[in-house]
């Protein structure tokens, strides 16, 4: 006859077993992906030549210019996939510019005037501009991975009339230890002398490359990564979000300091919004870095507003507020992507033996019955949300628009949307895609 203690201990062990097994099972399904990756929608895309090994693409929408962050050393520093050998990072990267008004024209490589030192760009973002027409100058923020050092953020000015890129300054912080993607904030906390905006940065991991805890973070896919906010007037950064699972893309949403975050290893796309929850904890009195006056700053209090369980490995994300278009780019099979990354680390220019494709999805709004998770009313003919508003709410659902098994294009790194078109960059392909996502 087993004792009560033994029964209780066995029950607890079973519970712990299930609690560990289920998330691991979920990750395995997410990383393995479907057995067959379908091919459709490639006729919407054309490949634009120019850059290779790109980690990010963003569109400055007033100018309708795409900027890509590309680096021949990217195969030696794929920190998001934890595949790297920093000693091999010799060649510098660059920003490339692509004019969406001149569709099909190649992208052009930009040199940075006044910049010296290693340049290995990851995330890019632009200071929001109120100019409706053509701004004379755009402030660009770029995450720069200097080998064996802490990543930093470079502030650059772009002058569209002369297609010239000029170095302004470098922003460093101990909180940028695994900095990856960046999103400028539309907060009025803008540096008064050089127009540097405040911004958010994601750390793709919770620990840096040399920290032994990172091994466990990778092995068990722990949600340990963070979100950092930099206040440009105070010249101070602080972590404002925790427990992310490989946050691979961030982009500003409708309101000030509200953000869409893609958690690649979580399979979700989340909306976070800043709230003042406690002035006592969020307010800080500082001497401003620009005018040297005492000012009071409020650190964002990031609250989750929405979680989209997409069940796919979203590596890139973009949102166009004017058209309310949300798009993602995903790895259909993360494991295949990592296999390609490992081969490329070994031999950058050899064709990989594994195929790692992509899926481009667009979010659509559907009415959903309260308490349910599926857009049932699509089948429900008598449904009218206007008449029964309390029983239904609108929810976003991601639906694939273009999918490729890697035969034509793959290993995506980011997506940018503008006026019914989407640019897709890739970590290991030559060139990038310019696709129509119009209905």
Ligand X SMILES: *[C@@H]1O[C@H](CO)[C@@H](O)[C@H](O)[C@H]1NC(C)=O
Query: Residues 86, 92, 211, 256: which binds ligand X (CB under 6 A)?
Result: 211
Q: Provide the minimum distance between the beta carbon of 73 and ligand X in the complex, in angstroms, as a whole number.
A: 17
CB-wise, 126 or 177, nearer to ligand X?
A: 177
CB-wise, 103 or 192, nearer to ligand X?
A: 103
CB-wise, 210 or 278, nearer to ligand X?
A: 210
Judged by CB under 6 A, does residue 92 bind ligand X? no
Locate 344 and state its tokens: 């490329």
Q: Provide the minimum distance between the beta carbon of 148 and ligand X in the complex, in angstroms, as a whole number.
A: 7
On whether the CB atoms of residues 340 and 411 are closer than 8 A, the answer is yes
**33 Cβ contact partners less than 8 Å away, ≥ 6 residues apart:** 312, 313, 331, 332, 333, 334, 335, 336
Judged by CB under 6 A, does residue 5 bind ligand X? no
Q: Provide the minimum distance between the beta carbon of 206 and ligand X in the complex, in angstroms, as a whole number.
A: 11
Q: Provide the minimum distance between the beta carbon of 98 and ligand X in the complex, in angstroms, as a whole number.
A: 10
Judged by CB under 6 A, does residue 147 bind ligand X? no
CB-wise, 63 or 112, nearer to ligand X?
A: 63
Q: Provide the minimum distance between the beta carbon of 59 and ligand X in the complex, in angstroms, as a whole number.
A: 11
Query: Residues 79, 98, 157, 177: which binds ligand X (CB under 6 A)?
Result: 177
On whether the CB atoms of residues 355 and 405 are closer than 8 A, the answer is yes
Query: Residues 3, 4, 210, 278: which binds ligand X (CB under 6 A)?
Result: 210
Q: How far is CA 260 from the centre of its chain?
A: 9
Q: Provide the minimum distance between the beta carbon of 136 and ligand X in the complex, in angstroms, as a whole number.
A: 11
Scanning 107-115, 207-215, 398-406, 431-439 for contacts with ligand X by CB under 6 A, the matching segment is 207-215
Count the neighbouring beta carbons within 10 Å of the beta carbon of residue 71: 25
Judged by CB under 6 A, does residue 65 bind ligand X? yes
CB-wise, 210 or 353, nearer to ligand X?
A: 210
Judged by CB under 6 A, does residue 228 bind ligand X? no
Judged by CB under 6 A, does residue 146 bind ligand X? no
HEC readout, the chain: CCCHHHHHHHHHHHHHHHHHHHHHHHHHHHHHCCCCCCCECHHHEEEEEEEECEEEEEEECCCCEEEEEECCCHHHEECCCCEECHHHCCCCCEEEEEEHHHCCCCCEEECEECCCCCCCEEEEEECCCCCCCCCCCEEEEEEECCCCCCCEEEEEEEEHHHCEEEEEEEECCHHHCCEEEEEECCCCCCCCCCCCCCEEEEECCCCCCCCCHHHHHHHCCCCCEEEEEEECCCCEEEEEEEEECCEEEEEECCCCCEEEEEEHHHCEEEEEEECCCCHHHHEEEEECCCCCCEEEEECCCEEEEEEEECCCEEEEEEEECCCCEEEEEEECCHHHHHHHHHHHHHCCCCCCCCCCCEEEEEEEEEEEECCCCCCHHHCCCCCCCCCCHHHEEEEEEEEEEEEECCCCCCCEEEEEEECCEEEEEECCCEEEEEEECCC
Scanning 137-145, 203-211, 331-339, 379-387 for contacts with ligand X by CB under 6 A, the matching segment is 203-211
Q: Provide the minimum distance between the beta carbon of 215 and ligand X in the complex, in angstroms, as a whole number.
A: 12
Scanning 204-212, 336-344, 395-403, 413-421 for contacts with ligand X by CB under 6 A, the matching segment is 204-212
Query: Residues 106, 128, 147, 160: which binds ligand X (CB under 6 A)?
Result: 160
CB-wise, 172 or 291, nearer to ligand X?
A: 172
Query: Residues 146, 150, 236, 339: which binds ligand X (CB under 6 A)?
Result: 150
CB-wise, 42 or 150, nearer to ligand X?
A: 150
Please report, as residue ranges, which positions from 316 to 375 form the binding site for ligand X (by CB under 6 A): none
Phi and psi at 75, nearest 5°, equal -60, -20
Judged by CB under 6 A, does residue 98 bind ligand X? no
Q: Provide the minimum distance between the beta carbon of 434 and ligand X in the complex, in angstroms, as a whole number.
A: 15
CB-wise, 99 or 218, nearer to ligand X?
A: 99
Judged by CB under 6 A, does residue 99 bind ligand X? yes
Q: Provide the minimum distance between the beta carbon of 208 and ligand X in the complex, in angstroms, as a whole number.
A: 4
Residue whose pair of structure tokens reads 């940028």 in the numeric block: 176
The Cα 266–Cα 245 span in angstroms is 6
Judged by CB under 6 A, does residue 172 bind ligand X? no
CB-wise, 131 or 255, nearer to ligand X?
A: 131
Residue 270's DSSP bridge partners are 261, 307
CB-wise, 25 or 134, nearer to ligand X?
A: 134
* Residues binding ligand X: number (CB under 6 A): 12
Q: Which residues bind ligand X (CB under 6 A)?
A: 63-65, 99, 101, 134, 150, 160, 177, 208, 210-211
């Amino acid at each position: 006859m087993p004792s009560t203690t033994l029964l209780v201990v066995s029950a607890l062990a079973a519970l712990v077993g299930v609690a560990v097994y289920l998330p691991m099972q979920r990750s395995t399904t997410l990383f393995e992906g479907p057995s067959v990756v379908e091919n459709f929608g490639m006729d919407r895309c054309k490949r634009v030549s120019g850059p290779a090994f790109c980690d990010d693409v963003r569109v400055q929408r007033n100018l309708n210019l795409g900027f890509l962050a590309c680096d021949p050393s990217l195969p030696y520093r794929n920190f998001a996939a934890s595949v790297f050998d920093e000693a091999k990072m010799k060649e510098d990267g660059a920003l490339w510019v692509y004019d969406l008004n001149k569709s099909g024209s190649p992208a052009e490589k930009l040199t940075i005037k006044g910049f010296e030192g290693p340049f290995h760009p990851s995330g890019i973002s632009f200071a929001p501009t109120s100019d409706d027409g053509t701004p004379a100058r755009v402030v660009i923020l770029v995450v720069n991975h200097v080998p064996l050092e802490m990543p930093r953020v470079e502030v650059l000015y772009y002058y569209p009339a002369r297609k010239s890129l000029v170095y302004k300054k470098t922003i460093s912080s101990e909180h940028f230890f695994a900095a990856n993607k960046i999103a400028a904030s539309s907060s009025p906390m803008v540096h008064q002398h050089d127009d540097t905006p405040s911004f958010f940065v994601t750390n793709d991991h919770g620990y840096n490359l040399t920290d032994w805890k990172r091994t466990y973070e990778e092995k068990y896919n722990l949600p340990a990564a963070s979100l950092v906010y930099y206040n440009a007037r105070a010249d101070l950064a602080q972590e404002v979000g925790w427990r992310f699972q490989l946050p691979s893309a961030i982009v500003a949403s409708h309101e000030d300091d509200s953000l869409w975050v893609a958690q690649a290893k979580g399979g979700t796309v989340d909306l976070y919004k800043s709230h003042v929850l406690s002035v006592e904890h969020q307010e800080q009195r500082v001497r401003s870095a620009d005018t040297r006056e005492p000012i009071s700053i409020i650190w964002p209090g990031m609250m989750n507003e929405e979680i989209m369980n997409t069940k796919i490995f979203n590596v890139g994300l973009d949102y166009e507020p004017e058209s309310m278009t949300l798009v993602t780019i995903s790895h259909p099979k993360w494991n295949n992507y990592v296999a390609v990354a490992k081969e490329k680390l070994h031999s950058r220019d050899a064709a990989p033996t594994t195929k790692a494709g992509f899926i481009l999805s667009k979010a659509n709004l559907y009415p959903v019955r309260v308490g349910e998770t599926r857009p049932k009313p699509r089948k429900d003919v008598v449904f009218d949300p206007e008449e029964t508003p309390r029983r239904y709410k609108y929810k976003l659902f991601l639906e694939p628009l273009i999918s490729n098994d890697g035969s034509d294009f793959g290993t995506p790194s980011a997506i940018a949307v503008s006026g019914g078109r989407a640019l897709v960059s890739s970590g290991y392909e030559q060139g990038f895609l310019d696709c129509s996502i119009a209905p």
